[in-house]
Amino acid sequence: MTREQAGATVRLQSGTEWVYAFRSQEDAATPPDEAVCAAAPFAPTVKLGAGLYVPAGGGDYERVGSATACFRLTDRAFTPGTQVPFYARFLLPVGAFTAVGECTLMSNDQPQAGVVLAGGTLKLVEVPPGFAGGMLSNLSVFNPLKLPGFATGSYYTLYTFRKEGPGTPSP
């Protein structure tokens, strides 16, 4: 397995398997793309825009893209165990990845009441040229009450496959 750079996004590569790891953080300067949420296979009740970041050394992060996340949240108590439909598009240096699936609400009181922890798995339904599908997982913090000291954001692992053969573009 090798560790390389694709644009500024760190990836791990083994044969045709490529794994990207990055962090998202909600960002008012990056509003959600309404067209992305309009394409969701459900009626979203929450739409978030975010910057995407990778470690840059010395504790700093480098912005490498943006994302729009759309989900259908109907349980405003954020009951642990609730399944939430999730649809998102990630714009990375190698192109756009779109994913759909569910996130499970894990906690609504850690590290304090009002902070929601969730995790999910999503299937890639749109990938850039040269890729052949895959999946995405996330560990997320949702701060719907805008409590101080907590950012809405996630850590993502995007697991995808490169197509092989002549004419396949390089990432």
Residue 8 pLDDT exceeds 80: no
**pTM: predicted TM-score of the whole model, two decimal places:** 0.89
Supply 39's token pair. Answer: 């394409």
> Maximum CA pair distance of the chain?
54
Quote the pLDDT of residue 15.
84
102-135 pLDDT tens trace: 999 999 999 999 999 999 999 999 999 999 999 9
37-76 pLDDT tens trace: 999 999 999 999 999 999 888 888 899 999 999 999 999 9
Smallest CA-to-CA distance from 7 within 58, 64, 54 is with 64
Give the other-Cβ count within 10 Å of 118's Cβ: 23
